[in-house]
Structure formats: C-alpha cells, structure tokens
Amino acid sequence: MKYRLKKDLPGIKVGEIVYRITHFYSIQLSDHPDWFEPVQEFWVPGDIEEYWWIDPEGDISCSRTYTASCWRNALLAFGNCFRTKERAEEVAAKIKAMLLSERERI
C-alpha cells in the first residue's frame, strides 16, 4: 500500500510517497491517521457499485460489492475487476489469445 505524507517528518516532506508501512519512525500509522493519506493506484468499486470480472471459464460476470470480502480482494489483487463489461471482454480476449498461443508452442 502506498501513502502520501500529510505532515513533514525528518527526512521526508509533505506530499512524498511512502510504501507499505505499519511503523514509521516508531510511529504507529493507526495512531496518526491524519498524517498519512492512502494513495489509490487503481479503480476500486464502491460499496454497491456494479463491477465486471472474468470467471474461471473465461466468461464475463457482473457483481455488486456490498462489503469487502476475500473474493473481492482476490479479484482486485489480480487485476480482475473492471468498470464495464466491454473492458472485461477486451481483457478476456487478450488473456485467451495469450494462453492459446502458449498452448500451441508446446
């Protein structure tokens, strides 16, 4: 996870990005949430926002996210979460083509 610093600290100025921290100069991140701002690197659906994903058979599925879950987190971590059906279909076609080309080389 990336965080943008919201307070000058020794050696790091406001606005600089720090990575995957739980402790920072012996400062608990949870004790000073106002010092750090999470930097979102990719689109994440809202709590009840529709999103599209590629299922294990290569078909496109649609879901609405109501709460964070292991399944949703896995989709996001793997990059398998899209705003539109069209974008999911584009990516699925690329994945299928890549996998088929690998299969043909064997």
Q: What is the pLDDT along the chain (106 residues), one digit of tens a residue?
A: 677 888 887 777 888 877 655 555 556 667 777 888 888 778 888 888 899 999 999 999 999 875 667 777 788 878 899 999 999 999 999 999 998 888 866 6
Q: Distance between CA 4 and CA 27 in Å, rounded?
A: 15
> Number of structural domains, the chain?
2
Residues 6+ away with beta carbon under 8 Å from 58: 92, 95, 96
User: Is residue 63 included in any domain, yes or no?
Assistant: yes
Cβ atoms of 25 and 10 within 8 Å: the answer is yes
92 and 64 assigned to the same domain: yes
Q: What pLDDT is stored for residue 72 in this prediction? A: 79
Q: Distance between CA 51 and CA 64 in Å, rounded?
A: 6
Q: Please give the residue range of the domain that contains residue 35.
A: 2-39
User: Is residue 23 included in any domain, yes or no?
Assistant: yes
Give the residue among 27, 26, 82, 30 at the shortest CA–CA distance from 51.
82
User: Is residue 96 included in any domain, yes or no?
Assistant: yes
pTM of this structure: 0.60
60 and 88 assigned to the same domain: yes
Cβ atoms of 55 and 61 within 8 Å: the answer is yes
Q: What pLDDT is stored for residue 59 in this prediction? A: 96
54 and 101 assigned to the same domain: yes
